[in-house]
Structure formats: C-alpha cells, structure tokens
Amino acid sequence: MSLKLAFVLDPLDSLKAWKDTSVAMMRAAQQRGHAVFAIDAASLGWSTARGVHGEAVALDLRADDTDWFRALGSETSLLTAFDAVIMRKDPPFDFEYLTATWLLERAEADGARVFNRPRALRDHSEKLAILEFAHFSPSTVSSRDPATLHAFIDAERDIILKPLDGMGGSQIFRVRHDDPNRNVIVETLTDEGRRTVMAQRYLPEITQGDKRILLIAGQVVPYCLARIPKAGETRGNLAVGGTGVAQELSPRDREIAEMLAPILFARGLMLVGIDVIGNHLTEINVTSPTCMVEIRQQTGFDAAALFITAIETACRAS
C-alpha cells in the first residue's frame, strides 16, 4: 500500500540532514514506496471554501546529506488529501505553534490522520508532563514566584533551572545555593516573576549521560542515546556539544519506559522521547523527538523505519 505522507516541518533549508530525525523518517518512507511531501508549518491556513491547507512540496529524498532532496513541485493542498500528516515542527511552543495545533485539529475533524495528535501535543507540556509521573522524577518545583524558587535552591543546595518552552538545552542553568549569580538567574528566567519555570534537583548522574529513550506506537525502542556533557558543561544536549553514545536500556530505563509507553500512545502520541538521568525521568518530549539517526549509526536499529511501520499500521486500521 503506497501512501501519501505529509510532514509538517520547519523550512527545509534549516534541516541538518546528517542528523535530523525528520529527514530519516522521510527517507524511510520513500524507501517503502510512499510519496513524501513537506509542508512548512508557516504555510498552514484555513478558509471557508477549502478547509485546512498548506503549501505541500513533493520531495525526492537522496542519500547525500549535503544535497539531500529535490523539490518535484508544490501546490496548496488540503491536509485531508494525504493518508497521514506527521507534525514535526520544532519548539518553541509559542502562539504560532499553538495555532498550528488548532488548525491540525480542525483538519482531523475533517478526516485527516495527524500524528502526534494535536490535542495530545497541547495536553503534554514537555516539561510539566512529568508531574503526572512524579514517582519517577527528581524533586521538582514549577513556579514563577522567586521566593518559592529560592526556597527550593536553599533546600536542595544544587538545582537545575529551565524554561518550560525551550529545546536543545537553551537557557538551562545549574544553580548552587552559594552561587553569587542566583538572584539574577532567577530574575532573568522568570522575567521578574512573570514567567513560570521549572526547577529540579541536580542529578550528578548526568556525567553518564542524559538518556533519550524513544517510544513508538506504545512500544519501547531497545536502545537509548546517552548524551554526555562535554568537559565543563552541565547539559548533555547534542545542540550544545554533548556526545551521543547509544546503549541498551537499563532495567530502570525499561521500567519507566514500559510504564509510560502504552499510556501516552493511548492518548494519541505515536512518537515520544523521554529523558532519563540516572534513575529519574526528567522530560517527556512530544513535539519533535530526535536521536534516531545516532541510534541507527551506532547500533543498526532503525527507529525511523519502525515509525513508518507504525504509520502504515495506523492507516490500514482506519
């Protein structure tokens, strides 16, 4: 069964094909004989006459990472014209991202299959979603009140402070109780008490890696990518210089992942990337989880192909 698959993305020229999970997914889809289209999220719109539409670029995917696609033509297309729509727009989860989920949900109502489901994207803040599974998480506070955050710093002595809408390690600070800059860090991240942030107890196991574990259609990928911070750095994110080391899941990794996978899949989350440091769940990533390329390069396990299999199964079932 050949499918027409539309990937809602950031601009194509911004994608780094040598490491980008969305590119890996599109290549895997083409290898299965499916027609692949890219829709810049900025082109999504709705009209009374047409419904939800976007500028769809037909792609020919190539193996060369420096010249990785050819555009075969483009036209404004209804999202219902595709067998599946895969939402892969990167954060920040700002008003434009929120608007995209509203439009995608309208397309769903008209009959489009959208993965991850738009309502599920809205319902699962990538930082705050861990609160539902607090028994797996480190000591955590979420607040915009500076006094509350400073009390947490004093109690835990060593914490991580981060915004709720970032990605790739952006604006993440390690703050110790005796840090002379703690006041200005709290002031800056909370925008003087106007923005809610998250504080978590610092986990020294970060030196062994911030493990990205992929959940696909309720199943756990057997390998994770441990993102190990470079010397002098607290963050393991690859975007800030961390080194990715693929490894088998530990028993604790699997315990956490197998508990979350069926719950999240039942809510419409086809692909999830959970983050585990040591024995603790720290984030649940639902917008555009990554690390498929590195896992395949180091282990041979093709998570992108597994994802396309899940899309095929979903399309056959509905």
Query: What are the Cα distances from residue 238, in Å, to 78, 241, 294?
Result: 36, 5, 11
The torsion of the CA quartet 17, 19, 21, 24, rounded to 10 degrees, works out to 60
227 catalytic? Reply is yes
The one catalytic residue among 40, 126, 156, 283: 283
Copy the structure tokens of residue 138: 């480190």
List, in order, residues 6 or more apart from 302 with CB less than 8 Å away.
28, 296
Spell 40-58 as b/e; 16+ CB within 10 A means b: bbeebeeeeeebbbbbbbb
Query: What are the Cα distances from residue 200, in Å, to 20, 86, 160, 178?
Result: 29, 32, 5, 17
Task: Give the Cα separation of 181 and 184 in Å (integer).
Answer: 6
Task: Give the Cα separation of 2 and 105 in Å (integer).
Answer: 25
Task: Give the Cα separation of 200 and 137 in Å (integer).
Answer: 9
70 catalytic? Reply is no
212 catalytic? Reply is yes
What is the residue type of 234? T
List, in order, residues 6 or more apart from 308 with CB less than 8 Å away.
25, 28, 29, 32, 34
The one catalytic residue among 212, 237, 294, 312: 212
27 catalytic? Reply is no
The one catalytic residue among 253, 275, 294, 312: 275
285 catalytic? Reply is yes
174 catalytic? Reply is no
The one catalytic residue among 113, 117, 227, 296: 227
89 catalytic? Reply is no
275 catalytic? Reply is yes
Task: Give the Cα separation of 143 and 127 in Å (integer).
Answer: 12
The one catalytic residue among 88, 89, 211, 235: 235
The one catalytic residue among 27, 113, 117, 162: 162
DSSP run (H or E) holding 115: strand 114-115
Strands 84-87 and 4-9 come out as: parallel
The one catalytic residue among 105, 116, 156, 285: 285
The one catalytic residue among 88, 89, 127, 211: 127
Active site residues: 127, 162, 212, 227, 235, 275, 283, 285
